[in-house]
Amino acid sequence: MRWSNAFIPTLREDPADSEAVSHRLLMRGGFIRQLMAGSYSLLPAGFRVATKLSDIIRDEMNRIGGQEFSLPVVHPGEIWKRTGRWDDVEGILVKFQDRRGTDLLLAITHEEIFSHLAVEMSSYKQLPQLWYHLQTKFRDEPRPKAGLLRVREFVMKDSYSFDVDTEGLDVQFDAHFDAYSRIFERFGMSAVPVDASSGVMGGTESIEFMVPSLVGEDHIVKCPNGDYAANLEKAVSHFQQVTDETWSRDPERFSTPGIRTISELAEAFEFASDVRQIKTLVYIVDGQPLLVLLRGDHELMEQKLIDGLGTQNVRPAHEDEIRELLGAGAGSLGAVGVSGLSIVADPALEGRCNMTTGANEDDFHLRGVDVTRDIALESWLDVRKVEAGDPCLSCSAPMEIERVIEVGHIFKLGIKYSEALGATVLDEEGKARPLVMGSYGIGIGRNMAAIVESNHDDKGIIWPMSVAPWHVVVVVLGGDSDVEAAAIQVHDRLESAGIEVLLDDRRERAGVKFHDAELIGFPLRITMGPRGLADGVVELTTRADGTTETVSFENVVDTVSRRVVSADL
């Protein structure tokens, strides 16, 4: 390919509306252009990279027995009504009608349709199955951002496994775990697998693959010894222990005028340091009030509450609801003596006594509270948000919190969809059993962005060889026709050797060509100018470390071929 015939619109300056490094570099390098919020066109260079990612994914999916499909993007609403998601999924699901008034939707994922196809299987003998496709999803996200990292329209590889029992599911899940690990390695990223919350997908177990990045939207908790890693939404840990002095009397009410926060109370009274307070939060769960108790210095992780309660319908109570329920405003709330309301408490409060909490009367608190004695708990529920430095459960080392990008997610789905859609097979005893499903996703565009986030410098992108749009660029310097002829020869020989090469034959100055080459991030650059050619040599520059070596004109194709192959495609 000749650059002079290619559409690679590089930009000299940063586009105005871009924050994330990957967004800037993919725009400037001529890989992508924005169409509207959360919607990007892939330009030829971008599409070449996307194709590389897709091919690697296909390779690894096929290796574990995957069969590739291609399913529609517009679905009938009827099937989604059967699984309940037509109504359950709020906001991001785009619904519309065709000319006959039939309800339709844009696919946000493909569980329904793959399950619908799986209805055709009738015997356990046909299992296991592993089906996948690479297809467009449209999720009308409230806030797309950071270029390709969070978009509304995107291509995802999603696969679905079907088994007769959970043992089969476990096997397929583990196979995906291995396949995903290989995929991200081939993408040139170090992805950390972490325990994740399954959200409303209703699965039993799920693992997210996370790549560290300052622009990531998720946080993970990591043990420095590698003993533990989890999404912050689900992470658990030890916490600093507190020894209480005994207080055998009943709780004692005392006046706390104007005090509304944990820290104000801790400052005002020596016996009420934050670890000796009970934090009382009021939530509305499925329309019913719920008190959530935490140690004063601990934060609530709402997702853990949602997961623990098993319902998505959870929100903090409003100020007026709180006052009506407990008779005081936030800041003076407590659970002592409260009856008729569900109360859950974080295990960090277990066995604690001589605690301080609100008296459910503005400007008054209670001291000497014994959690088990004085509060009518319904249950213990770990809802504490892990903080940086909290000790690891297995080795007690202080854990770290890291910002990450979610590049892949694997789920044990269970039978939610197969049951709703009647996807059953007969087992060995002739009994109908719903297929046990798993679902597994990798977003192409987000991974492209994540690769750039983890492979760049101040000059531009540094593509790993495996996913580079071209392996090598041949830069022709000077207007000399002999040099150009020699460059064309090198280009043609590389191409016949199966190397992906772009010939920069533009009538540009050397600086422009070098800057563009570095911005776009070709792993290798061959520089050919009259000077070297007179001596029968060319220069070979490695993008990653910036080193340049001199190679003879005759050997350059061999040298480059070896370098491309040894980079482990």
Partner RNA sequence: CGGGCUGUGGCGCAGCUUGGUAGCGCGCUUGACUGGGGGUCAAGAGGUCGCCGGUUCAAAUCCGGCCAGCCCGACCA
- Please report whether residue 529 would count as binding RNA according to CB under 7 A: yes
Work out which of 187, 470, 527, 557 binds RNA, going by CB under 7 A: 527
Beta carbon of residue 87, minimum distance to RNA (angstroms, whole number): 10
**Closest to 236 (Cα-Cα) out of 346, 352, 380, 384:** 384
- Please report whether residue 37 would count as binding RNA according to CB under 7 A: yes
- Please report whether residue 36 would count as binding RNA according to CB under 7 A: yes
- Please report whether residue 129 would count as binding RNA according to CB under 7 A: no
Structure-token match 């080795």, residue found: 395
Span near RNA by CB under 7 A; candidates 36-44, 67-75, 127-135, 349-357: 36-44
Q: Is 342 helix (H, G, I), strand (E, B) or coil?
A: strand
Q: Tell me how far apart the alpha carbons of residues 149 and 146 are, in angstroms, rounded to a whole number.
A: 6
Q: Residues 83-102 vs RNA: string with x where CB under 7 A?
A: --x--xxxxxx---------
Span near RNA by CB under 7 A; candidates 8-16, 249-257, 271-279, 484-492: 8-16
Span near RNA by CB under 7 A; candidates 67-75, 160-168, 185-193, 516-524: 516-524
Beta strands (DSSP E) in 223-304 are 229-231, 252-255, 278-285, 288-295
Structure-token match 């005002």, residue found: 268
Site for RNA in 307-346 (CB under 7 A): 312
Dihedral angle sign, alpha carbons of residues 534, 537, 543, 548:
negative
CB nearer to RNA: pick between 83 and 256: 83
Work out which of 22, 25, 34, 179 binds RNA, going by CB under 7 A: 34
Span near RNA by CB under 7 A; candidates 115-123, 246-254, 414-422, 503-511: 503-511
Q: Tell me how far apart the alpha carbons of residues 173 and 167 are, in angstroms, rounded to a whole number.
A: 10
Angle at 407 between CA 421 and CA 49, to 5 degrees: 105
CB nearer to RNA: pick between 18 and 181: 18
Beta strands (DSSP E) in 122-196 are 129-138, 153-163, 192-195
Site for RNA in 370-409 (CB under 7 A): 409
Beta carbon of residue 355, minimum distance to RNA (angstroms, whole number): 28
CB within 8 Å of 158: residues ≥ 6 apart: 109, 110, 132, 133, 135, 439, 440, 441
- Please report whether residue 199 would count as binding RNA according to CB under 7 A: yes
Work out which of 48, 81, 82, 145 binds RNA, going by CB under 7 A: 145
The partner residues of 288 in beta bridges, in order of sequence, read 285
Q: Is 262 helix (H, G, I), strand (E, B) or coil?
A: helix
The partner residues of 360 in beta bridges, in order of sequence, read none
Whether the CB-CB separation of 436 and 163 falls below 8 Å is answered with: yes
Other C-beta atoms within 10 Å of 238: how many? Answer: 15
Instruction: Summarize as ranges the residues that interact with RNA (CB under 7 A).
Output: 10-17, 19, 34, 36-38, 85, 88-93, 108-109, 139, 141-146, 150, 199-201, 217, 302, 312, 409, 459, 477-479, 507, 509-512, 514-516, 518-519, 527-532, 539, 541, 548
